[in-house]
Amino acid sequence: MSAMRKIIPITLAGLSALAATGAQALPVYESKEVALYIQGYFTAHQINIMGSTEMIDGASRLGFNLDVPAYKHWNVGFNIEWGLLLVSPNREIIISGDQQAEPGEQADPLYVRQGHAYAKHEFWGDFAAGKQWAVYYDVAGITDWYNVSGGLASGAFALGSDGGITGTGRADAALTWRKDWKGLGGEFQIGLQYAAHAADLDIQAEGARGPDTLLVCPPEDCEYGLARGASLTYKLDVGDGLFLGTAYNRVNLDLFTDKGLLFDISDPNFPILIRDDEVINASSNDFAFIGGVAYGTGAFQKGLYAAFNWHRSHNNELAPPSTTMGATNFFNAIGSESFVSWTWGAFNCYSVYGGHNLLKSHDDEIFEEALVTGDKYRLGYYFGGFNFQWNERVRIYLEGGKDDSNDVAQSPGDFIAAGIRVDI
């Protein structure tokens, strides 16, 4: 990820959602037995954030899709996609006094974005297994079209990640099934998702044994457990197309431990150990609900495209460091996103676009130590931009963001960026 993307999650879909992104797959080999495609793009921005200018990586990626016709109208294959950091050398030199430390990796220049196998059938639907776009993203993705930023407030990219563990973004180790059918003047699609033991939990949880208690959960003892998700979308043949969708995702937080430490934090400055030898079961859950509506052929397509989504979540966001009382705290949130583009000109090459991302805490008491009026978390951005589609594979863009966040959110601030994207 780039410096900006560490705070603002990666946007746009990958190999498993080519139609959603407008990305093009390039055939490498085709026969009656097998087809191999390569897909991806390079993108980079010259960005100014609060007066500091640098060139950074965008969400560049490279992927392959192998598709094989199978028995009785089935198609099977796999998608694999890597994210790429290509612009920066991705190293840092640490100077401590007069001693120079060894250079260390800031981030992996090649990282997995997706990797899954699939089987598709016109009647039975589409099955997939592995790291892939979540069914939750079937709705969250309608506003995730900005070239530089976006995806901050839909609940998809939870916990400051790609949403893999929660199963809301690029879901880890997930089993999915999607099936569509026509009716009532449009097309319905249902999506179901399942994952087990998504990740270990190494956290501190307040209220585990009543008020003023803190459970310190040791590594490899507590876990993100079963995850389940579902989505329902409806594309109506009205004008240029009307999309309606809703999705729900739930993960068990299994805080079951016989090794955890339980503290009395009545005085947060002097926690008192209560017990360290008793089984503690303080399990909870992480859920996110989203609804969305969109109109138009698609983002950066001819004419108007307008999309809006709204979400509510529980334990699906993490408080930034130093904004709470030292514990790693989940918090409940409500959020909304919008994206609007108008496209015109020869070959539909000109687009202006804009919208917003707004995420707010819904249980403000955990931020009571934060030095901000109202004890709230508020992350807000308003975006505007211009997109020039030079040809079918090259776009040039200008995008700016106005930061409307409070101090608790610790956002990077206003930005303006000029960039280029080159598709394979």
Determine the residue type at 162. Answer: D
Which residues have C-beta within 8 Å of that of residue 304, sequence separation ≥ 6? Answer: 240, 295, 296, 340, 341, 342
> What pLDDT shows up at residue 322?
74
Strands 242-254 and 222-236: antiparallel
Q: How does residue 146 score in pLDDT terms, banded at 50, 70 and 90? A: very high
pLDDT given for residue 90 in this prediction: 56
pLDDT band at 328 (very low <50, low <70, confident <90, very high): low
Q: Identify the pLDDT of residue 276.
A: 63
User: pTM to 2 decimals?
Assistant: 0.86
Distance CA 291, CA 154 (A): 9
192-210 residue pLDDT tens: 999 987 677 776 777 667 7
The pair of structure tokens assigned to 239 is: 């004008």
Instruction: Identify residue 48 by its one-letter amino acid code.
Output: N
Please spell the DSSP secondary structure of 210-239, one letter per residue.
BTTEEEEPPTTTEEEEEEEEEEEEEEE-ST
- Rounded to an integer, the average pLDDT of 352-378 is 80
136-165 in b/e form (b: 16+ CB < 10 A) is bbbbbbbbbbbbbbbbbbbbbbbbebbbbb
Location of structure tokens 């897909």: 39
DSSP 276-311: SSS-EE--EEEEEEEEEEEESS-TTSSEEEEEEEEE
Lowest mean per-residue pLDDT among 33-42, 245-254, 277-286, 319-328:
319-328
pLDDT at 290: 98
Report whether pLDDT(372) > 70.
no
State the DSSP code for 208. Answer: B
**Confidence tier at 144 by pLDDT (50, 70, 90):** very high
User: What's CA 182's distance to the chain center, in Å?
Assistant: 29
| pLDDT attached to residue 153 | 96
Coil, strand or helix at 33: coil
Say whether pLDDT at 424 is over 50. Answer: yes
Q: What does the DSSP 8-state code read for residue 2? A: -
Share of the chain above pLDDT 70, in %: 84
What pLDDT, on a 0 to 100 scale, did the predictor assign at position 76?
A: 96
pLDDT of residue 97: 47
What mean pLDDT is predicted for residues 308-327? Answer: 84
| pLDDT level of residue 353 (50, 70, 90 thresholds) | very high
d(CA 207, CA 265): 10
Q: Which of 340, 338, 227, 354 is nearest to 292 (CA)?
A: 338
Residue 223 pLDDT:
81
Residue 64 CB: number of other CB atoms within 10 A? 18
Lowest mean pLDDT among 32-46, 95-109, 240-254, 317-331: 95-109
- Taking 70 as the threshold, does the pLDDT of residue 35 lie above it? yes
- DSSP code of 26? E
C-alpha 284/C-alpha 288 separation (Å) is 14
Q: How many CB atoms lie within 10 A of CB 43?
A: 22
Phi–psi pair at 143, nearest 5 degrees:
-110, 0
Cβ-contact 420, 394 below 8 angstroms: yes
Percent of the chain's residues with pLDDT above 90: 56
Helices (H), 133-208: 137-140
What CA–CA distances, in Å, run from 91 to 4, 103, 108, 275?
Answer: 16, 6, 10, 44
Residue 326 has pLDDT above 70, yes or no: no
Which residues have a Cβ under 8 Å from the Cβ of 352 and sit 6 or more positions away? Answer: 341, 342, 384, 385, 386, 387
Range name among 58-62, 95-99, 164-168, 387-391 with the lowest pLDDT average: 95-99
